[in-house]
Chain A
Amino acid sequence: MGDRFFNRLAKASVDYSHDADVIAARFRGVRVDTVIQTRETADDESIRGLLAGNGIAARVSDGGRVHVTGDLGRITEVARADARLAFRNEFTELGGSTGRQGRRRYTAGGLCSTV
């Protein structure tokens, strides 16, 4: 009980969503072009689909790599939106936005958000 009580207080003190909004606005229009090496090759296609679903261009290249090209502000906005859903424990909505289920759903959402 005590652990949960302090976890509730701690969670309330780490809400930086407002700062994320500022960052997203600041980097809107800044383009990035990078390659991500995923842990599992099977995830490549799903990550590409998640990114494409959020308006971020991505393509799977040889060797289990995902080439991501897009707006850093847009990527940050997607990350903030997914993180906000997870922060509010709205996992059903998060699953709807990422198209994944269970714990893997969230992991994929996190990857999508953080690319």
Chain B
Amino acid sequence: MDCVQRFDAYLRTAGRGAEADAARFMTTKILEPAYNFRGIVAEPARENVGWLTGLLGFYLVCTLWYGFGILYFFEGSASPCGRRDKAGVVAPAHRGLWRRWPAARSSLAPSPVAAASRQTASEAPPQTAKASLRMVNG
């Protein structure tokens, strides 16, 4: 292989780029694979469709499993990654899943302080628009 690189360099310095490319192609695409894969019988992918499909499916399952593991880890650690509403509850990023799993929803109940403030707000008499304007204008 050493001499091929020299051959390639010679052709390049001689201004014969096309021949140099051909020499490099022969080295990297023809000779090196034949040398590196010696003793191994080539098998096209179409003869192993079942194996490849199964492995790809396994890969996807593992990826999703791992991704949800990370998601629930941060959710369980109460990391405020989502948007916080007025009551102080962190809205989850995965809303569809959130609606389907009420058990998970109830586990993230609002804090007692936020619940108390919400209750106070609901007990207060509702102000009309006119009353609010009066307060603003003095």
Residues of A within 8 A of B (CB): 4-5, 7-17, 19-20, 23, 26-27, 30, 32, 34-39, 72, 76, 79-80, 82-84, 86-87, 89, 91, 106, 110-111, 113-115
Chain B residues with Cβ below 8 Å from A110 are 1, 31, 35
* Residue among B26, B29, B44 making CB contact with A114, cutoff 8 Å: B26
* Residue among A12, A16, A37 making CB contact with B44, cutoff 8 Å: A12
CB distance from A100 to the nearest CB of B (A): 14
State the CA gap A99–B34 with chains docked (Å): 19
Please tell me if the beta carbons of B31 and A11 are within 8 angstroms of each other in the complex.
Answer: no
Chain B residues with Cβ below 8 Å from A27 are 19, 22
Please tell me if the beta carbons of B1 and A11 are within 8 angstroms of each other in the complex.
Answer: no
A interface footprint on B19-37 (CB within 8 Å = 1, 0 otherwise): 1001101110111011101
Instruction: Provide a sorted-by-A list of 11 A–B residue pairs whose CB atoms are within 8 angstroms.
Output: A9-B43, A9-B44, A11-B37, A11-B40, A12-B44, A14-B29, A16-B29, A20-B29, A23-B25, A34-B7, A114-B4
Known contacts A11-B40, A11-B42, A12-B43: does B2 contact A39 (CB below 8 Å)?
A: yes
Chain B residues with Cβ below 8 Å from A111 are 3
Please tell me if the beta carbons of B27 and A114 are within 8 angstroms of each other in the complex.
Answer: yes
Main secondary structure of the interface of B (DSSP, over half): helix
Residues of B within 8 A of A (CB): 1-4, 6-7, 10-11, 19, 22-23, 25-27, 29-31, 33-35, 37-45, 48, 51-52
Known contacts A23-B22, A23-B25, A83-B30: does B3 contact A4 (CB below 8 Å)?
A: no
State the CA gap A72–B25 with chains docked (Å): 13
Known contacts A5-B51, A7-B40, A9-B45: does B3 contact A83 (CB below 8 Å)?
A: no
Known contacts A23-B26, A111-B3, A114-B3: does B42 contact A106 (CB below 8 Å)?
A: no
State the CA gap A37–B10 with chains docked (Å): 12
Chain A residues with Cβ below 8 Å from B51 are 5
Chain A residues with Cβ below 8 Å from B45 are 9, 12-13
* Residue among B1, B7, B22, B34 making CB contact with A83, cutoff 8 Å: B34
CB distance from B17 to the nearest CB of A (A): 13
CB-nearest residue of chain B to A68: B7
